[in-house]
Structure 1
């Protein structure tokens, strides 16, 4: 009996272990199976960070370094985006150049003095490999880094190989206006794509390259190594892949789902979104909200948010500007079933919360009370000031005009279709 119990326990442990049997093979695994054919005999540069791993959590840096030590090619340089190649830099902190201690390979920063590899940084590099896990939202800086890498490589005449990875939001949801308003292009809105783009990094790279979206319409000699086993409708849990935190406040794949639902409103600095507490991007709260139960009830009654649920929550953040202050508000539960989520616009959830707060507490104005710099970042993340303007002009209500404005164009969706791989 004792052996039987231990056997059952072992089976349960294996079934929930962090490294499951993967149903999806990522680009790095396919490249390895192909014997690194597109890198053979070349001096290779690698753009990656801790999310660049295979299904057994072996770093792409170490995979390429091992192959290089067997004489297949030379690993000549590493390039670090936000957080650095080994994840040892905080969000927003400049990444330092230097030498990778494990491999002895030189490291160049792409998040500091420059976000684009210069000719000097690419000197001697014959092919540049990109392998970073994205989270499917335009304002997350990894896809901006990919575009800048492609631009720098094109300028230096260095071909680019993108190792594809799943989009944790799936490949079907597309939300937001693709047009970036003049003066609002930035590293958090670098390219004219919707806020939720519904593409893998490989598909997005193909579109940036093929549609002349790179600076000056440059082309970079792009090769995408596709995945095997991924389908557009798959959620992350179906991929059978381990999740490595893409940044400190996205510790799980579920965090990627909530980021577009609250990340924009968090830029205001007037509402707390769970960053600094145990629920990053899962809450909207403030010290002045006096009726959390009523707010949850009102939100749960909105037909536009059908499938999304809210519960009242009270908590004290552990760090950040609001450390130790009691917050009152709602915890958000986005729908997990695809059918429930079909009509829900994740990116308009924060505006519906602002709408209900305006009705309940008209004396507080989170949009108008935000500091000028925070409002500027809010608009840059959205790629436009018009969404905020329309909302305020409508008396802080989400109108059909706003929903229509915040929609990708038919022309964009047609162009996007040309570059889908899966």
Structure 2
């Protein structure tokens, strides 16, 4: 079961945020009796916990919008829904509600979320429902017109983790663009951002645009995927400035300072809360010769390499789910175990800086992918030049201040 910390002054609300082509944002408030019906409470360890409802669980807001329409859905294993106390998948829920669901569109890692990062995913069929599955990765990141044929409304239900290089927001961009070009309404079923209280890191420079960074935002953007969709639309980041007919179905009883524990892994190498909180900081190592624990059961909670000084802590990567051929497969890596580290309150650079300072051959530490992850060449140059972490952070301030002003226009939650 998903659990959440009760915060003082937890607010309850229900509204549909709608932004269609050229239209202004409007807010529809729920009636008091409806709000009461949508609020549930649980007791755990003698503490009263107010249950947050995800957009998928806020089904009274979107099921009427699907009546008489042919529906597609972009989702994967994170599309969970609790209904009448039972946890299931949103696809199965829609089938039970007799929604005319026609196709499933799956992002990186596939519909069941078991593929390696970057692994080619073939189109297929869901064995339970018989629905065709179309992969939105590799050479088909953006759904083609023929793949959207017959679809009136597209649902989008993916669990993001709030980092620029986590590719579900890139998939959102391409789906929004395809829907806009093919006159298809897009409904985002929003989910909390487990790193939603943090806005930090260098803002991406447009010359370093890639699938792991498509927009001028910092590494940690502090937005839900629904808020982020509003920003894509409002800032006209889609091709030729087009805008998508976008509806965001919000979470209920949520604010971004609440702790959020994901019910399932968002991807194979983010197995728990600790990995999700450390991911934005440790992912920089993916652009270096340092392993982040792929091929172990502590992915994104440890780091190390054969080229760092020998110490008590070590690990040896081996093939497993999500890492069929991990970096340093079968080789002993020395580094640091962060499994018990306190959840970061900012984008941490200390581990990256320390690893660079202690590696044997600094000329082989960075690889070209690092610049794509950082969204700028400056960070690598600063680390190589021995710039202090304080001065590196100061260099981000102007970009972060500008981003926060833009971001404020699209926030749904406090």
| Deviation for aligned residue 1:15 | 5.5
- How far did residue 141 of structure 1 move? 0.8
Task: Indicate if the aligned counterparts of 2:54 and 2:251 stay in contact, CA closer than 8 A.
Answer: yes
Q: 1:379 aligns with which of 371, 379, 398?
A: 371
Q: Structure 1 residues 40, 60: CA separation in 2 closer, same or farther (over 3 Å shift)?
A: same
Q: Give the distance between the partners of 2:329 and 2:113, measured in 1 at CA.
A: 25
2:58 matched to which residue of 1? 30
Q: Which residue of 2 aligns with 1:298?
A: none
1:388 CA drift (Å): 0.6
Q: Quote the offset at 1:419 in angstroms.
A: 0.8
Change beyond 3 A, Cα 1:90–1:316: closer
TM-score by length of 1: 0.79
Q: Counterparts of 1:185 and 1:35 in 2: how far apart (Å)?
A: 34
Per the alignment, residue 346 of structure 1 pairs with 347
Partner of 2:40: none
How far 1:356 moved relative to its partner? 4.3
Please state whether the residue corresponding to 1:114 is helix, strand or coil. coil
Q: CA RMSD in A?
A: 2.3
Higher strand proportion, which one?
2
Distance 1:256 1:102 in 2: 29
Whether contact under 8 Å (1:261, 1:346) holds in the other structure is yes
Q: Relative to structure 1, is the Cα distance of residues 232 and 287 closer, same or farther in structure 2, using a 3 angstrom cutoff?
A: same
Picking from 404, 409, 414, the partner of 1:413 is 404
Stretch moving more, 95-104 or 223-232: 95-104
The DSSP-based 3-state class of the residue aligned with 2:265 is: coil
Give the whole-Å Cα distance in 2 for the aligned partners of 1:150 and 1:35.
18
Q: Which has the higher contact order (CA 8 A, sep 6+)?
A: 2
1:8-49 CA distance string (max 9 Å, x none): xxxxxx969xxx987110001102x34701111111110000
1:315–1:105 Cα change, 3 Å: closer
1:243 touches 1:252 (CA, 8 Å); kept in 2? no
Distance 1:39 1:21, change over 3 A: farther
Contact 1:96 1:112 in 2 (8 A): no
- Deviation per CA, 1:274-329, whole angstroms, max 9, x where unpaired? 2222211122222243354xxxxxxxxxxxxxxxxxxx622222342323322222
Could you tell me how far apart the structure 1 residues matched to 2:341 and 2:181 are? Answer: 43
- Identify which of 290, 298, 302 aligns with 1:279: 298
Equivalent position of 1:192 in the other structure: 216
Aligned length: 358
Separation (CA, whole Å) in 1 of partners of 2:309 and 2:274: 29
2:342 to 328, 335, 341: 335
SS of 1:54's partner is strand
Q: Which of the two has greater helix per residue?
A: 1
CA separation in 2, counterparts of 1:235 and 1:417?
Answer: 21
Secondary structure in 2 matching 1:409: helix
Instruction: Quote how far apart the aligned CAs of 1:108 are.
Output: 1.5
Gaps of 5+ in 1: 1-13, 293-311
Cα displacement (A) at 1:112 = 2.7
| Gap change, CA 1:35 and 1:137, over 3 Å in 2 | closer
Secondary structure in 1 aligned to 2:231? helix
1:44 aligned residue (51, 62, 71): 71
User: Are 2:198 and 1:173 equivalent residues in the alignment?
Assistant: yes
Partner of 2:277: 257
Residues of 2 paired with 1:15 and 1:276: CA distance? Answer: 34
User: CA offsets per residue over residues 176-222 of structure 1, 9 Å max, x none?
Assistant: 2223241x111001122111111101111111111112222121110
Tell me the SS of whatever aligns to 1:273: coil
| TM-score of the pair, normalised by structure 2 | 0.81
In the alignment, structure 1 residue 110 sits paired with structure 2 residue 136:
yes
CA distance in 2, matches of 1:212, 1:34: 26
Residues 287/140 of structure 1: CA separation in 2 closer, same or farther (3 Å cut):
same
Q: Secondary structure at the match of 2:187?
A: strand
Which residue pairs with 1:227 in the alignment?
251
Larger radius of gyration: 1
Match runs of 1:134-213 below 5 Å: 134-169=160-195, 171-182=196-207, 184-213=208-237
